[in-house]
Structure 1
Amino acid sequence: MRLRIQRTAFPRKTLILTDTPRPDCPDCDGVGAIEYPYGDYDTGEYAGSNWDPCTCWHEARRWLLLPLPSLPRWLRRRRRDADPWGPGYSDEPPF
C-alpha cells in the first residue's frame, strides 16, 4: 500500500490519506486502471473507452485526517467590480 496526503474540497475542505496505485504493477503500469477501448458496432470506428480498476489499488480506501477550517462569512470580502486577475493597471494617463 502506497499512501499520500490529498486535499479535498467537497463536501468540506479536508486533508485525507489515500491509497495510490503500485507504480511497478505489470497489469496497469502504475495508472490504477486498465483501459478497454471499444468501437461502434456498425462502422467499427473508435467510440470511447472503458476503465476497469486494477487489483493493485483500491480507490475507496481513504481516511480522513483533518478537517480544514473555513473563513467566517464576515471575513470573506469580495469586490464585485474588481478585476478577477488582480488589481487593474492601465497604461493611460489619469487625465
Structure 2
Amino acid sequence: MRPRIRRTTWPRPALVLTHTPDPACLDCRGEGGHNRDYGDYDTGEYAGTEWEPCHCWDETRRWTLLPLPRTPQWPRTHSDPWGDEPPF
C-alpha cells in the first residue's frame, strides 16, 4: 500500500488518506488502470470508453482524516437594512 494525503471536494471538502497506484506496476505503469474503447455490437461504430482499474490499486481504500469547512459561494455582507440615516 502507498498511502498519500489528498484533498477531496465530494461529498464535502476534507483531507483523506488514500491508496495510490504502484509506479513500478508493469501493467499500468503507475496510472492506476487503462481506458478501453468499445464499439456498438451491430454497427461496429465507436460507442464510448470504459475505465478498467488495475490490480495494483484499489480506489475505494480511503479514510477521512480531517473534514474541512465549506467556503461560501458568494461574498456575504451583513449590513443594516435600515442604516443610521434619519427617516425624514
Unaligned runs of 5+ in 1: 79-95
Q: What do the CA deviations read for 1:56-87 (whole angstroms, capped 9, x no partner)? A: 00001011111123469xxx516xxxxxxxxx
> Taking structure 1 as reference, are residues 44 and 68 closer, same or farther at Cα in structure 2, changes over 3 Å only?
same
Question: Secondary structure in 2 aligned to 1:5?
Answer: strand
If the length of structure 2 is used for normalisation, what is the TM-score?
Answer: 0.67
- Aligned ranges 1:13-92 → 2 under 5 Å: 13-70=13-70, 77=76
Q: How many residues align?
A: 75
Q: CA deviation at 1:15?
A: 0.5
Unaligned runs of 5+ in 2: 78-88
| Percent of pairs with identical residues | 61
